[in-house]
Amino acid sequence: MSPGSFVFSSKALRSLQLDEDMLERHDYKRRMASHHLLSYALKKEARDRTPLRANVAPRPYVCRDVVIQNALYTGNLEAMQRLFPRGSSAGLIIEPQGGEMRWVARGEGLWSLTYEQELTTPLHITAGRGFTECLRLLLQRGASVDLAPGGITALHESCVRCEPECTRLLLVHGADANAVSDDGHMPLHLCSNPESFECAKHLLQYGAAINARTADEDDTPLHVAARNGLTDHVELYLRYGAAADKKNHEGLTPLNAACSQPQELQDLQRYLGLCRILMKAGADIRSMDQDRRTPLHMACKNANADLVELLLANGASVNEMDYGGEAPMHNILKVVCYKLAHSPERVVRALLNHGSIRVWPGALPKVLKHCSQSPRTIEVLLNAYSQLKVTDTWVESVPPEVFEEHREFYESVFSLARTPRSLQHLSRCKLRVFLEGRLDKVVPRLDLPTIIKNYLLLDYRGYIH
C-alpha cells in the first residue's frame, strides 16, 4: 500500500457506488430534457383537461423540465406562450436541477452527494425577477396565486425582490396580503429596504395588517421600517394607523429599535429624522427594553449626537440606569475610540449639560487611556471638575503616538499637576453647580455674549486651563 493511500471499508465503497449511481441518474435526466417541446405541452394540456371531482382543486405536479425552467428564469414570453397554450394550466411546482452539491445521510451510516434543491413555482420565478408579462400569462392560465411549496408565496418573493408591478398584479388576482411564510413573516414584514416602498403601498391598499407580528421576533412592520431607517415607510405606516409603542419580544418599541440599530456616519441624519417622526406620533422616549435600556442609552452607544440632543430636549432621563448599572454616559465613553468620526465629544457635552453623572475621579486615568484619541472628549470631561489630581498614571495612560499627535493639548492637561485651575474655570464650575439641571434652558436666555454662553456650556478650546 502506498504511503498516501488508505483502506476503504465496505460501507465507504457502498457510499461511493451510490454516488456514482446518483450522478448517472442526473446525466440521464439532462438527456431526457431534450425531448420535443410540443409533445410535452400536449401531454400537459391533456392532463389539465381531465375531469375532476367537484370542489377538488387540481393538484400541482412537479416539473423538472429544464426547457420550461429556462423559459421561466429568462422571462421568455414567446416560449412560455408555446409551453402554456390557452386552456392549459400553469399549476406547476418547479424542482430546479443542478446547483450546489452537499452530503446527505442515506441511513445506516451512509452518506451521499446530492444536489441542493428548493421547490418553487413559475409564479415565484417570474414575480421575483420582475417578468410582469410572463406573470400575467401564468395567472391567466390559472396558476395558484398563494401556492407556497418552498415556504413563501409569490407575493413574499416579489416584496423581497422589490418588484412593485408584480406585487400589484398578484394582489389584483387575489393574492393574500396577509399570507404567513414558514418562518412567520407576512409580505409587509419583508419590505425592508427603500426600493420596497411601492410594494408596501400596494399591500396596504389590499388590506395588509398594519400591526401584524412576526413569529420569531414579534416585530410589527413599523419595527422593521424603523430598524432599517426607512423614513418613507414609517410615515406611510403611521398614516395607516401603525401603533408607535408596540413592543417586540425583546421589549423594543420602534423608537428603541431605530436608536439601537448600528449607524454609520452617513446614516445619522436619516435615523434622526425617522426618530423625530416617531416622537411626533407619540412614541415614548422613556420606554425601556427587557434590559432597561432607553432610547437615550442606545443613541449614546451609536454616538448619534443630534439624536441624543433631540431626546434630551424632549425629556429623556439622563441618569437612568440599565440592568447592568450603566447610565447613558457609560455607553458613550465605551465607544469613543470607535466613533471618532461621529464627534463623540458632542454627546458627552450634551449629557453633562443636562445633568449627567460624572466619571469617578479615580477612574479618569482609565477613561483617558480609552478615549485619548479624542482630545475634545477629554477636554469636556475634565472641564466638568473644579479640581483634578493629575499624577504620573495620567501621563502613562496616553500612548506616546497619541501624545505626539496632540502634544499641545496633553501638555496643558499634565501641567495641572503643578498648576491649579484658572479663576475663570472655577467661576464656570460654580455657576454650573448653581444651574444644575437647568443649564440647557437658562444659559441660552442669559443676557451674555455668545462666547461666554458657549464657555458655560463646555465649548471646546483645545487646551485645559
Residue 33: the pLDDT is: 43
Q: What is the mean pLDDT of residues 236-242?
A: 97
**What gap in Å lies between CA 122 and CA 73, rounded to an integer?**
9
Mean pLDDT of the chain: 87
Compute CA distances 161 → 28, 219, 229, 230, whole Å.
34, 20, 18, 16
Domain definitions of the chain by residue range: 13-21+62-209, 244-357, 367-465
CA angle, 278 then 346 then 363, to 5°: 115
CATH topology match: 13-21+62-209 vs 244-357:
yes
pLDDT at 277 over 80: yes
pLDDT tier at 410, thresholds 50, 70, 90? very high
Q: Which residue has the higher pLDDT, 29 or 225?
A: 225
Q: What is the mean pLDDT of residues 434-459?
A: 92
Q: What is the mean pLDDT of residues 108-133?
A: 79
Label residue 459 left, alpha or beta by phi (over 0 means left) and psi (-120 to 50 means alpha): beta
Q: Which residue has the higher pLDDT, 319 or 100?
A: 319
pLDDT above 70 covers what percent of the chain? 82
Q: Which residue has the higher pLDDT, 37 or 427?
A: 427
CATH numeric code, 244-357: 1.25.40.20
Q: What is the mean pLDDT of residues 155-165?
A: 97
Q: Mapped to the 3 state alphabet, what secondary structure does 136-161 carry?
A: HHHHHCCCCCCCCCCCCCHHHHHHHC
Q: What is the mean pLDDT of residues 104-108?
A: 53
Residue 42: the pLDDT is: 42
The CATH number of 13-21+62-209, from 3.40.50.2300, 1.25.40.20, 2.60.450.10, 1.10.10.10, is 1.25.40.20
> Which DSSP helix (H) or strand (E) runs through 113?
strand 110-115
pLDDT at 121 over 60: yes
**What gap in Å lies between CA 102 and CA 400, rounded to an integer?**
53
**What gap in Å lies between CA 100 and CA 3, rounded to an integer?**
33
